């Protein structure tokens, strides 16, 4: 896999602009190598994120430089390791959020709070997890071990939500 390096300079103390660039790069899965220097795999999905980050830098009056990397095997392995470690950390966070969603559903079942408003809230929460899962899966180009656990955890949450929905409809007198 080929890599790209983005480095940029923003003028003055533009924390809003710095945060916007940082958020865009994190969103697409770039790995921070040092302040204002990021590595990201090359490829359409990743390149679009780099383009958005470069646009943000330029709109703020800064300068961005993007390089295609030709590196030794050791360097490429190090970049893959950094990238994979960040994806694994994201999967851990994702699974923790699945735990919270299941705990919330369990709490509502224990309280027998079978209302349409509660069902709507829980559906929104699981939909958020589904979107997050799709985003993580798209970034996880090296297939970290946490991906399979994340898939199982999302499936568990979805099944629990379906069971909760059944209880809500039964409580409303509908089969």
Residues 165, 56: Cα–Cα separation, whole Å = 43
* pLDDT, mean over the chain: 94
**Architecture, CATH, for domain 3-70:** 2-Layer Sandwich (3.30)
pLDDT of the residue at 83: 95
Token couple for 54: 């470069």
pTM, two decimals, is: 0.87
Which is higher by pLDDT, 162 or 70?
Answer: 162
**What CA dihedral angle connects 80, 82, 83 and 85, to 10 degrees?**
120
Average pLDDT over residues 145-169: 96
Residues 139, 86: Cα–Cα separation, whole Å = 10
Percent of the chain with pLDDT over 90: 87
Q: Is 144 helix (H, G, I), strand (E, B) or coil?
A: coil
pLDDT of the residue at 175: 56
pLDDT of the residue at 26: 94
Question: Among candidates 121, 142, 170, which has minimal Cα distance to 40?
Answer: 142
């Amino acid at each position: 896999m080929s890599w790209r390096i983005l480095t940029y300079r923003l003028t003055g103390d533009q924390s809003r602009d710095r945060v916007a660039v940082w958020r865009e790069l994190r969103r697409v899965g770039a790995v921070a190598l040092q302040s204002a220097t990021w590595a990201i795999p090359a490829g359409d999905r990743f390149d679009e994120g780099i383009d958005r980050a470069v646009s943000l830098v330029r709109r703020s009056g800064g300068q961005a430089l993007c390089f295609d990397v030709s590196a030794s095997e050791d360097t490429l392995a190090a970049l893959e390791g950094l990238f994979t470690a960040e994806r694994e950390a994201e999967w851990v966070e994702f699974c923790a959020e699945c735990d919270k969603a299941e705990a919330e559903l369990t709490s509502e079942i224990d309280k027998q709070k079978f209302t349409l408003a509660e069902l709507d809230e829980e559906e929104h929460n699981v939909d958020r997890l589904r979107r997050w899962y799709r985003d993580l899966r798209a970034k996880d180009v090296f297939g970290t071990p946490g991906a399979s656990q994340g898939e199982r955890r999302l499936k568990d949450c979805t099944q629990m939500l379906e069971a909760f929905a059944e209880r809500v409809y039964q409580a409303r007198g509908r089969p």
